Chains A and B, each alone.
Chain A
Amino acid sequence: MLQHLGVQALLDLDLRLGEGSGAALAWPLLQSACAILREMASFASAGVSEKSTPVVA
Chain B
Amino acid sequence: MTPLNTLANLHNPALHSKLQAAIDNKTKPPGSLGRLEALAVQIGEILGTDKPVLEHPQMVVFAADHGLTAQGISAFPADVSWQMVENFLAGGAAVSVLARQHGLALTVVDCGVNRDFLAGLPAGTQRPGLVVRKVAGAEHGTADSSQGVAMTPAQCEQAMRNGMELVRDLPGNALLLGEMGIGNTSAASLLLARLAGLDVELCTGAGTGLDAAAVARKCEVLRKVLALHADAMQPLDALAAFGGLEIATMTGAVLQAAAQRRVIVVDGFIASAAVLVAHALQPFVLQRCVFAHRSGERGHEFMLQHLGVQALLDLDLRLGEGSGAALAWPLLQSAMNSCCSIWAYKLC
Are A40 and B97 within 8 A (Cβ)? yes
Q: B314 contacts which chain A residues (CB < 8 A)?
A: 12
A/B interface sample: 12 pairs, CB < 8 A: A10-B315, A13-B34, A14-B34, A16-B29, A17-B28, A21-B33, A35-B100, A39-B92, A41-B93, A47-B83, A48-B87, A56-B221
Q: With A13-B34, A54-B73 given, is the CB distance from A49 to B79 under 8 Å?
A: yes
What residues of chain A have their CB less than 8 Å away from a CB belonging to chain B? 10-17, 21, 24-25, 28-29, 31-32, 35-36, 39-41, 45-52, 54-57
Q: A31 contacts which chain B residues (CB < 8 A)?
A: 101
Report the Cα distance A49→B302, complex, angstroms.
31
The 7 closest A-B pairs by CB, nearest first: A41-B92, A14-B34, A56-B217, A17-B32, A28-B330, A55-B72, A56-B72
Report the Cα distance A39→B331, complex, angstroms.
22
Q: Which of A14, A29, A35, A39 contacts B35 (CB 8 A)?
A: A14
Are A35 and B72 within 8 A (Cβ)? no
Name which residue of chain A comes closest to B313, CB basis: A11
Residue of B28, B34, B94, B315 with most partner-chain A CB within 10 A: B34
Is B77 an interface residue when CB atoms closer than 8 A count as contact? yes
Report the Cα distance A47→B83, complex, angstroms.
7
Name which residue of chain A comes closest to B314, CB basis: A12
Is B74 an interface residue when CB atoms closer than 8 A count as contact? yes
Are A52 and B97 within 8 A (Cβ)? no
Q: With A41-B90, A48-B87, A52-B76 given, is the CB distance from A57 to B71 under 8 Å?
A: yes
Are A52 and B334 within 8 A (Cβ)? no
Q: With A40-B93, A54-B74, A57-B71 given, is the CB distance from A15 to B84 under 8 Å?
A: no
Q: Nearest-CB distance from A56 to chain B (Å)?
A: 4
Other contacts beyond A17-B33, A54-B73, A57-B221: 10, CB < 8 A: A13-B312, A16-B32, A17-B28, A17-B29, A24-B334, A32-B98, A35-B97, A51-B208, A52-B77, A54-B217
Is B80 an interface residue when CB atoms closer than 8 A count as contact? yes
Are B73 and A13 within 8 A (Cβ)? no
Q: With A35-B101, A41-B90, A56-B217 given, is the CB distance from A15 to B34 under 8 Å?
A: yes
